Structure 1
Amino acid sequence: MVDVVTGYLDDALSCIDQEEMECDEYECPDEYECPEHEFYNFQKNKSIKLGQIWALYSDMDTFPKYYAQLKRINLKEQIVYIQWLEPIGKGAVGEDKRWFDSMLPSGCGTFVVTGEKNSYDKYAFSHKVTARQLTGKKNAFEIIPVVTEIWAVYRNWTLILSGDDIDENCQYDLVWVSELTHTGIKVLLLAKVAGHRTVFRLDSERKSVEIPRGEFTRFSHRIPQHRLIHEAGGNLCGCWELDPAALPESFIY
């Protein structure tokens, strides 16, 4: 077992403005354990640039469910200064609207950069987020699953009524995003590879599923992935190793 805080964001550019932003400091919820990676070290070679949007580990269930834009970096102290992104629920319907009205964490949708500023230890960052800046809106972004990404989706999302319902008892499916359509997002479900804790493959026994617009709140969080090719003598070619720091425990043990 290793602590998540052993990771690195070690390639920050030397030209980054090191002036510290005046803001409240925040102690990140990083004191939890996860299994060792089997083949790929997800904490290696992460590089950051100002203006990027990253996912941070949440204090709700330790998964990377919070989004923030990088504003300044103090290289000497290894501290990153950020501004949070918050969902605005624009155009939300159905379960998505209920989710937003209940102020539950949103994995995808429309977000705006808030004025709230915090400083974070570098180890609180999971992965860079693909975010589309909205036309004419400097601080507004759309974040939705991208084709080929792997996400955890809530299996029982309609039963989640408050933040207290989002904990280690939540049930998830793991999916690979195969197609974006006008009506929703098509996904293929994953199955765990026998004999491994963090290696998964497409589940050939289960058909493609389309998650319709209005139910995008089913997407909990993205899970960083690494495609395997030559590992294990090539026997795992085409499978993925998933970042254990973002995997629900029910899939690991």
Structure 2
Amino acid sequence: MIDTTSNKLLRRRAVSETLMKGTCAESVGKKRKRNEYDDSCIARYIGAVSNNRRGSSDNGDACIGEESAQANISECVVGPKFNDFSKLREEANFKVGQTWALYDTMDGMPRLYAQIRKVSAPCFGLMITYLEPDSNDEKELQWFEKDLPVSVGNFRLGENKSTKDRSIFSHVIHCNERSNASCFSITCRFISTYHFSVSPRNGETWALFKNWDIKWSLKPDSHRKYEYEFVKILSDYADETGVYVAYLHKAKGFASVFFRMGRGYEGIFRILPQSLYRFSHRIPSFKLTGIEGKGVPKDAYELDKAALPETIEEFIVPLDSESNIKSKRQDIYFASKGNVFLTGQIWSFYCGDDSLPLYYGRIQKITFTQAFMQDPVCKLHIGRLKATRFPADVIDWENKGTPVGCGTFYARKALEIITPSEVSLQITPQTSIDGIEYTILPKIGEVWVIYKYWSRDMDAEDFSFASYNIVEILDDTLEYKVQLLKHDPFYKDHKKENTLLRAVKKNESWEMEGSGSYIPTYTIPKRERIRFSNKVPASRVTIEMYGELVDLISVDSRALPSHLIASDH
């Protein structure tokens, strides 16, 4: 009997073989070959018919090669175009370690991915390694087993190929990579890693499958011809919340200009993590300013026609579109001791007997008074943030009144008043499109205080005797990889209120969690995120000591547990 893991490996191997059939450079190149010199639709139509394939041009026009001449002339996209997308694919732009999107053989959209292993010169040539889907979700496994297109999610290295044809490539993609030993997030610069993930990023433009359903895999042959919707990505994808997007519509009278219809939250919606396969492919685009030509909508986008279907419904740009009207928000601000406070900001703050900044608040109103011959008194009216329900796979405190350092929050309507002396650090969360929820999670480069010994049923007395560590976040891709930091009295900060920290070295003894091992870097699973107590204001400094330069981290001493400053335990 084959176990579940072995069965999945066999299924993935079969998918890999299916995926690579017909994806060689020559066949894809024939399907998407570009004529970069001929602007005549009729001339390209004749060439397309003679080659019995679809042709396209990076200078903005496209024709279908198997219809009548009249049909092709009528479907040639006419109208102004403002950017030359072919420059994205010039020889000089290909570099070892990049990951590129390639056009597939289904309908010629850029859904395949490959890493550049070698670039040959002066005679241009590439050695590439394809990426193949690598999902652990049963429904997603069934999806790509049926040879349905996949452009998001997890991938792994696949087959190697050689090619000299640049026309099979669309654009460079950004992905997260991790090796067998450790995880780190980069922009696809190295090829020595093992697993990869691709997801929509804020500011990108993507195509969605229209009327998508994950159950297409039950009758895959009924879902081989695709219709699309087009969206702008409004937030980076997150495993907990998914991603927010806004519909884009093609502007009538332009070759490939797209704009947002309506105003405010109209046309904005969220795609949940379980619906990630609704994304068909990313479309390269340039943002327009509105001064490129007559009638160009402001803040619209010009999309690469090589990544668009033949026929797209067009709309006349209305006067009240989001691209033509931008609302202006009036902020009230107050400056105090180097901090600038504005309505809408979120800050961590101290409260009551707690010696650490364990709470978050959103500034709803700012008031200040100044009596004669006295300094002004500022009051911050805040809505304290309250954590929403934790996901099922994340550990929560048993005592629901325990402060939560990271997660998703909403601001209470009841206002509290604090002063600037009670705040610690301005926080930049990921905000939901409706402005109601705020997600605060540890990010690479940040410094946090974490609980050294902990359990989910800790009570108030346990917290009063809690032990802590100070860590820097090294990676936040799949789990939190952290570096232990310690206070070294040998180094002094010129700011008396700050403490200098340095990384713990391998030969220093720091016993971790009773394991008996001494590890200066280790991993915290994301399901244990309640271990993160509070974020610490920090900045990097370089000081000279006895003729040597030393890199340290300067932190606000007030945001640290006192015993971590007084001793090195």
2:438 paired with 1:138? no
Distance (whole Å) between structure 2 residues aligned to residue 252 and residue 172 of structure 1: 11
Letter in 2 for 1:81: H
Aligned partner of 2:552 in structure 1 is 239
Distance (whole Å) between structure 1 residues aligned to residue 466 and residue 477 of structure 2: 28
Distance (whole Å) between structure 2 residues aligned to residue 210 and residue 200 of structure 1: 20
Aligned partner of 1:56 in structure 2 is 349
Residue 88 of structure 1: which of 384, 388, 394 is its match?
388
8 Å Cα contact 1:102/1:161 also seen in 2: no
Task: Kindly report which structure 2 residues correspond to 1:105-124, keeping only aligned pairs within 5 A, or say none.
Answer: 105-124=403-422
Task: Kindly report which structure 2 residues correspond to 1:127-166, keeping only aligned pairs within 5 A, or say none.
Answer: 127-134=425-432, 136-158=433-455, 161-166=458-463
Letter in 2 for 1:247: L
Residue 195 of structure 1: which of 478, 484, 490 is its match?
490
Letter in 2 for 1:189: L
> Residue 195 of structure 1: CA displacement?
2.2
The 1:156–1:124 alpha-carbon spacing in structure 2 relative to 1, beyond 3 Å, is same
Distance (whole Å) between structure 1 residues aligned to residue 338 and residue 547 of structure 2: 24
Aligned partner of 1:217 in structure 2 is 530
2:329 paired with 1:16? no
Using structure 2 for the length normalisation, give the TM-score.
0.35
Deviations 1:45-100 (A, max 9, x none): 12221101100013242201100001111133311111110001231535x22x16
> Residue 191 of structure 1: CA displacement?
2.2
Aligned partner of 1:70 in structure 2 is 363
Distance (whole Å) between structure 2 residues aligned to residue 186 and residue 245 of structure 1: 25
Distance (whole Å) between structure 1 residues aligned to residue 553 and residue 348 of structure 2: 20
Distance (whole Å) between structure 2 residues aligned to residue 234 and residue 110 of structure 1: 47
Distance (whole Å) between structure 2 residues aligned to residue 69 and residue 84 of structure 1: 6
The 1:102–1:17 alpha-carbon spacing in structure 2 relative to 1, beyond 3 Å, is closer
Distance (whole Å) between structure 2 residues aligned to residue 17 and residue 225 of structure 1: 24
Partner of 1:158: helix, strand, or coil? coil
Using structure 1 for the length normalisation, give the TM-score.
0.75
Aligned residues: 211
Deviations 1:183-215 (A, max 9, x none): x21111112224247211111213421111210
Letter in 2 for 1:86: K
2:468 paired with 1:172? yes
Distance (whole Å) between structure 2 residues aligned to residue 118 and residue 234 of structure 1: 51
Where in structure 2 are there 5+ consecutive unaligned residues?
Answer: 1-329, 370-376, 493-498, 507-518
> Residue 121 of structure 1: CA displacement?
1.6
Indicate the structure with greater helix content.
2
Partner of 2:530: helix, strand, or coil? helix
Distance (whole Å) between structure 1 residues aligned to residue 545 and residue 538 of structure 2: 17
Q: Once structures 1 and 2 are overlaid, which stretch shifts more, 243-252 or 56-65?
A: 56-65
Aligned partner of 1:29 in structure 2 is none
Aligned partner of 1:27 in structure 2 is none
The 1:133–1:100 alpha-carbon spacing in structure 2 relative to 1, beyond 3 Å, is farther
The 1:231–1:121 alpha-carbon spacing in structure 2 relative to 1, beyond 3 Å, is farther
The 1:151–1:235 alpha-carbon spacing in structure 2 relative to 1, beyond 3 Å, is farther
Aligned partner of 2:305 in structure 1 is none
The 1:232–1:115 alpha-carbon spacing in structure 2 relative to 1, beyond 3 Å, is farther
Distance (whole Å) between structure 1 residues aligned to residue 340 and residue 378 of structure 2: 13
8 Å Cα contact 1:17/1:72 also seen in 2: no
Show structure 1 runs of 4+ deviating over 4 A.
231-236
Partner of 1:123: helix, strand, or coil? helix
Residue 47 of structure 1: which of 340, 354, 379 is its match?
340
Distance (whole Å) between structure 1 residues aligned to residue 544 and residue 405 of structure 2: 31
Q: CA RMSD in A?
A: 2.5
The 1:58–1:69 alpha-carbon spacing in structure 2 relative to 1, beyond 3 Å, is same
The 1:46–1:235 alpha-carbon spacing in structure 2 relative to 1, beyond 3 Å, is farther
8 Å Cα contact 2:356/2:534 also seen in 1: yes
Distance (whole Å) between structure 2 residues aligned to residue 236 and residue 172 of structure 1: 29
Partner of 1:147: helix, strand, or coil? coil
Letter in 2 for 1:217: I
> Residue 144 of structure 1: CA displacement?
0.5
Letter in 2 for 1:55: S
Letter in 2 for 1:175: V
8 Å Cα contact 1:89/1:100 also seen in 2: no
Distance (whole Å) between structure 2 residues aligned to residue 142 and residue 220 of structure 1: 15
Partner of 1:106: helix, strand, or coil? coil
Letter in 1 for 2:355: T
8 Å Cα contact 2:406/2:529 also seen in 1: yes
Distance (whole Å) between structure 2 residues aligned to residue 173 and residue 52 of structure 1: 28
Distance (whole Å) between structure 2 residues aligned to residue 236 and residue 66 of structure 1: 37
Distance (whole Å) between structure 2 residues aligned to residue 146 and residue 121 of structure 1: 28
Letter in 1 for 2:383: Q
Distance (whole Å) between structure 2 residues aligned to residue 93 and residue 209 of structure 1: 21
Letter in 2 for 1:227: R
Distance (whole Å) between structure 2 residues aligned to residue 118 and residue 236 of structure 1: 46
